[in-house]
Amino acid sequence: MGSKRRLDSVDRQIIAMLARAPQTSNRDIAAQLGVAESTISVRVDALIRDKVIKLSVQQNIVKAGYGVLGWIDVSCAFADAERIAGEISSIETVFSISLFFENPFLQVMVFARSAADLRELVEKRIGIIPGVDAIAADVSIGEACIKQGIASL
């Protein structure tokens, strides 16, 4: 069994900065800590390799051309929920489907280019699936989607 990695103050500051704002670039961390960007790169790589921190990928939906993040509640008979979730999962902009034990049985998270595109997705792709009883959608619009606020569609 390998020895435990000892973290110094720079490692702890890197971890704290990434915990507060995971999207912070190595350049920004380096500038704030007064060290070279290559130092941060090497240290982050070592922290990941030693399993002190874990890399996670998060898509910037705005840069990918999407302006809307939608949460869609799908009401259906519980017996149909898994089949309906399977059909919804084939939609390319769906990134998460949660199955619940009470109605609404499904919550779907999707990206859309606009509120109109989200409405079309709800009405013409999800709403027509046999067994879907009702749909409610909430949207978040803007660059830092959740920070901009949530509105019903």
Average predicted confidence (pLDDT) for the chain: 85
In this structure, is residue 16 part of a structural domain? yes
In a domain, 73, yes or no: yes
Q: Does 73 share its domain with 148? A: yes
Question: CA 27 → CA 36, 40, 52, 78, 86, distances in Å?
Answer: 8, 8, 21, 49, 42
Give the pLDDT confidence score for residue 143 in this predicted structure. Answer: 45
Question: Same structural domain for residues 81 and 38?
Answer: no
Residue the block writes with tokens 């990434």: 18
CATH number at residue 19: 1.10.10
Q: What is the pLDDT of residues 110-127, one digit of tens each?
A: 999 888 899 999 999 999
101 and 73 in a common domain: yes
Question: Could you tell me if residue 102 is inside a domain?
Answer: yes
**Is 130 part of any domain?**
yes
- 7-36 pLDDT, tens digit per residue, is 999 999 999 999 888 888 999 999 999 999
Give the dihedral of Cα atoms 90, 64, 119, 152; nearest 10 deg. 120
Give the model's pLDDT for residue 103.
80
Judgement on whether residues 43 and 73 belong to the same structural domain of the protein: no
Question: Which structure tokens are listed for 128?
Answer: 């027509």
Query: pLDDT tens for residues 133-148?
Result: 999 988 776 543 443 3
Query: Given pLDDT bands bounded at 50, 70 and 90, which one contains residue 130?
Result: very high
Range of the domain at 14: 9-49
Please check whether residues 94 and 135 belong to one and the same domain: yes
* Residue 87 and residue 41 share a domain: no
Work out how many domains the chain is built from and give that number. 2
